């Protein structure tokens, strides 16, 4: 059992682009068995909606210190006393400055002054802001005041700069919390946490919180129809030969099983593969790209989430030979007249009521450039890119790795966010992809009704 099971965590979210990661963090904390209540600053709501966090935590999100209904019972004091842990992620330069100064000018800073809980923060800001002497002074002051600092990380930032100031990835934050709760020295330099939850005698035991989390976990996509394409297509040359690729369908089948586990109704449109159908899933077998397009169109009217995982052939024969082509004596080459296949995923995103759409990019070089191009050009909500040239990964293998890309907002000129998933079994990778997708899907606003490819 996770050491976070039964912990009462107030997750504070302030106004940084990294706020989108907080949705993933909230879900991971819930999955670990913690009870999570979210407090958002006014600025944070410009980056991610309270409704997204409410859907992920099952709790009302608090956004205002002067909420008459909540404050009728001194809500900020009640919340401060309720918490075992206060975690601010992202913690912007502004929030850190106000905390260091002891200000209490909004709900988040006020409850931080009023709480006896252990307090942690995950800084997130531009590299120049992070390296500024004022930010470094504030970070040092907060450490002296008992705040435990998680990160920041270094790397490419949304603004295009490279350097320190990136918020730690949600998985790293949860791993650090687990370490500190076990008494180990965390890699972030945080101090050990008090592992004794401050619950009333009548409060549910940690096991009950874990069970509730698992129950919620299985229903995260309840009532949603997920359509997934998987495997290769075969484009006939003649009655005995065809054009195809090395796709085994394993990744698409793993995604179908993961979506079903999350409570979705799943339609799996599979090219010619030799894989058993996962339990509880509607399977539609197809051969060619045209067959697959027809099956996708038939399922599209009720589709909430479309995942184009199939390796669809780009071209097909303009004229398929009626009989087997025979080798012509004296010839050493054969010319095939090809025509372009329809772009299935672009057809989906261009539909009148386009679903939330995930694409895949299997590349052998320049992964980021090709994935970014496909993300924008095909108006995808999320793209899963993998290097199929990597040994032991990709086509036919049981393991895979991926980098997930999506736009920070809905415009083609908005910053591209990325998230790396290390090599792991395809079943585990499928679940990690859907876990990352969920907050993006819950915050999804349809914008592609007039889109074209």
Rounded to whole angstroms, how far apart are CA atoms 432 and 422?
10
Nearest to 289 by CA among 238, 234, 336, 237: 234
Binding-site residues:
308-310, 314, 324, 342-345, 360, 374, 378
Cβ of 19: how many Cβ atoms within 10 Å? 25
Half-sphere exposure of 27 (CA within 13 A, CB side): 23
**Cα 235 from Cα 362, distance rounded (Å):** 19
Q: 10 Å Cβ neighbour count for 424? A: 16
Q: Is 112 labeled as catalytic in the residue annotation?
A: no
The angle formed by the CA atoms of residues 256, 391 and 366, to the nearest 5 degrees, is 85
Give, in order, the Cα–Cα distances in Å from 225 to each of 51, 216, 260, 267, 380: 21, 18, 10, 8, 18
- What is the four-CA torsion angle of 221, 226, 231, 235, rounded to 10 degrees? -170
Sign of the torsion formed by the C-alpha atoms of 71, 74, 77 and 78: negative
- Residues within the annotated binding site for CTP? 308-310, 314, 324, 342-345, 360, 374, 378
- The Cα 112–Cα 99 span in angstroms is 8
Q: Torsion-angle region of residue 184: left (phi > 0), alpha (psi -120 to 50) or beta?
A: beta
Secondary structure of 153-200 in HEC code, one letter for each residue: EEEECCCCCEEEEECCCHHHHHHHHHHHHCCCCCCCCCCCCCCCCCCC
Catalytic residue among 119, 159, 202, 303: 159
Nearest C-alpha neighbor of 315 from the set 396, 245, 227: 245
| 3-class secondary structure, 220 | coil
Count the Cβ atoms, other than its own, within 10 Å of residue 42: 13
According to DSSP, the residues that pair with 120 across neighbouring strands are: 87, 148
Percent of residues in the chain assigned helix, strand, coil, to nearest 5: 35, 25, 40
Residues carrying an active site annotation: 159
């Amino acid at each position: 059992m996770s050491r976070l099971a039964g912990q009462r965590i107030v997750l504070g979210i302030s106004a940084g682009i990294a706020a989108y990661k907080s949705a993933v963090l909230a879900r991971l904390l819930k999955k670990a068995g913690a009870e999570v209540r979210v407090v958002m600053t006014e600025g944070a709501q410009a980056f991610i909606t309270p409704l997204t966090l409410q859907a992920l935590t099952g709790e009302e999100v608090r956004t205002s210190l002067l909420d008459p209904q909540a404050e009728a019972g001194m809500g900020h004091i009640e919340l401060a006393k309720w918490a075992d842990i206060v975690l601010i992620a992202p913690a912007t330069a502004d929030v850190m400055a106000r905390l260091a100064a002891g200000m209490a000018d909004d709900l988040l800073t006020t409850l931080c002054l009023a709480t006896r809980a252990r307090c942690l923060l995950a800084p997130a800001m531009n590299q120049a802001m992070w390296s500024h002497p004022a930010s470094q002074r504030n970070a040092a002051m907060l450490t002296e005041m008992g705040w435990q600092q998680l990160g920041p990380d270094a790397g490419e930032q949304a603004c295009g700069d490279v350097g320190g100031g990136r918020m730690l990835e949600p998985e790293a934050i949860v791993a650090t919390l687990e370490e500190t709760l076990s008494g180990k020295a965390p890699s972030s330099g945080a101090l050990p946490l008090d592992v004794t939850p401050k619950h009333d005698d009548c409060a549910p035991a940690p096991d009950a919180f874990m069970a509730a989390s698992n129950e919620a976990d299985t229903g995260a996509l309840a009532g949603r129809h997920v359509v997934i394409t998987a495997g290769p297509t075969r484009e006939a040359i003649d009655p005995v030969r065809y054009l195809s690729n090395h796709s085994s369908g394993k990744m698409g089948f793993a995604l179908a099983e993961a979506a079903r586990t999350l409570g979705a109704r799943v339609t799996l449109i599979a090219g010619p593969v030799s894989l058993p159908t996962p339990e509880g899933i509607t399977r539609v077998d197809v051969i060619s790209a045209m067959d697959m397009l027809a099956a996708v169109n038939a399922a599209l009217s009720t589709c909430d989430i479309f995942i184009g995982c199939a390796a669809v052939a780009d071209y097909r024969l303009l004229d398929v030979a009626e009989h087997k082509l025979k080798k012509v004596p004296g010839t050493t080459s054969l010319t095939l007249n090809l025509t372009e296949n329809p772009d299935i995923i672009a057809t989906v995103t261009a539909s009148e009521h386009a679903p939330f759409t995930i694409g895949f990019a299997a590349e052998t070089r320049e992964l980021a450039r090709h994935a970014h191009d496909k993300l924008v050009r095909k108006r995808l909500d999320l793209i899963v890119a993998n290097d199929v040239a990597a040994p032991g990964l990709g086509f036919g293998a049981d393991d895979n790795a991926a980098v997930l890309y999506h736009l920070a907002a809905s415009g083609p000129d908005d910053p591209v966010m990325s998230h790396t998933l290390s090599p792991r079994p395809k079943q585990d990778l499928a679940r990690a992809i859907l876990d990352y997708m969920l907050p993006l899907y819950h915050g999804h606003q349809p914008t592609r009704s007039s889109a074209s490819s």
